Amino acid sequence: MTTIAELPPGFADKVLSAQSTFRSVMDAMARPGSVQRIVPMAGAPGMMMRGTAAIALTLFDHDTPLWLDARMAESSDVLKWLKFHTGAPVVQDSSIASFALISDGGALPSLERFALGTSEYPDRSTTVIIQVDSLNSGRSFELRGPGIDGVASLEASIKPFDLFERLRFNEALFPRGIDVVLVADDAVVAIPRTTRVVSKGS
């Protein structure tokens, strides 16, 4: 049984750490495929990575319903840490979540089960944060779309292996769709719904 005093800490400097983390995430979203670093570190509970924890502290609060994958939802350390530091309500229904935290990409549910937004309000969609093995080595991918000057290349080791194939549904759905943030330790890459990804093989 973990008490509040034993929980990993939040940001040492709430204001400036949140600002710096946000700028990394904003730059990642504005330049898909580019690897941004999250500098300020907070403690991270259980299987949550340092980057994920910093993003949670920066963007989550009582206004953002949160969906956790089974491995996260089963960890009382994660639940307590999120509740104490962010106050974000954890929901069972993924279709109303503002954010989803995925620690086990292999068990990523079908993306249609998250909020996709509506044609009138496409911003009311889930941002899916997926923890991955590596964002600097692995399979290479070619990315195109807004934010990218021509073609961006990304080398990443990602589960599920077919993530980018599954994200192709964004093309037909646009402007509805799913925005993905990939986290590997302190590295972050964003794949907004406008990005088209082609696998270049290994």
Partner 1 sequence: MNAPAYNFAYLDEQTKRMIRRAILKAIAIPGYQVPFASREMPMPYGWGTGGVQVTAAILGPQDVLKVIDQGSDDTTNAISIRKFFAKTAGVATTTATDEATVIQTRHRIPETALHENQVLVYQVPIPEPLRFLEPRETETRRMHALAEYGLMHVKLYEDIARFGHIATAYAYPVKVNARYVMDPSPTPKFDNPKMDNCPALQLFGAGREKRIYAIPPYTQVVSLDFEDHPFEPYRFNAPCALCGAENSYLDEIVTDDKGGRMFVCSDTDYCEGRQAAGHHGSLSAAPYKEKAHG
Which positions touch partner 1 (CB under 8 A)?
14-16, 18-20, 22-23, 25-26, 29-31, 58-61, 63-64, 98, 118-123, 125, 127, 146-150, 174-175, 177, 179, 192-194
| C-alpha of 126 from chain center | 10
> Per the omega criterion (within 30 degrees of 0), is the bond before 9 cis?
no
Nearer to partner 1, 128 or 132 (CB): 128
Query: What's the one-letter identity of residue 91?
Result: V
Q: For partner 1, which is the closer residue by CB, 80 or 193?
A: 193
Shortest Cβ distance from residue 147 to partner 1 (Å)?
4
CA distance 140 to 150: 16
Nearest approach, Cβ of residue 82 and partner 1 (Å): 14
Q: How far is CA 189 from CA 10, 63, 77, 134, in A?
A: 22, 24, 26, 11
CB of 152 to partner 1, least distance (A): 10
Q: Do 145 and 168 meet the contact criterion of CB atoms below 8 Å apart?
A: no
Measured from the CB atom, the residue of 75 and 101 that comes closer to partner 1 is 101
- Please identify, using beta-carbon distances, which residue of 75 and 173 lies nearer to partner 1: 173
